[in-house]
Amino acid sequence: MGGIIRLMLTDLQLGDIVRLRKPHPCGNYTWRVVRLGADIGLECLKCSRRVLLPRRELARRLKAILPRENHETPI
């Protein structure tokens, strides 16, 4: 299982929408990727809160990377 998530993280691109296992306090599960590096920057799609998560932490919390056709391309 960890290998599949690791492969998914290497495919991550700016503007991708990800679904996490637990909801944000605002009740939303979906986040937009706004920064890539040692830490991954995410922005909540409901309340616009931004967080930085280490790659290992994101790999634990990640449920799915939503398909590209379900959301618009980054500006």
The Cα-based distances of 2 to 22, 46, 50, 53, 61 in angstroms read: 18, 28, 25, 17, 12
Amino acid 67: pLDDT: 77
- pTM higher than 0.95: no
- Which tens digit of pLDDT belongs to each residue from 10-64? 788 999 999 999 999 999 999 999 999 999 999 999 999 999 999 999 999 999 9
**pLDDT per position as a tens digit, 7-20:** 567 788 999 999 99
Among the listed residues 46, 57, 53, the one whose alpha carbon sits nearest the alpha carbon of residue 24: 46
What angle (nearest 5°) sits at the alpha carbon of residue 74, between those of residues 68 and 75?
A: 155
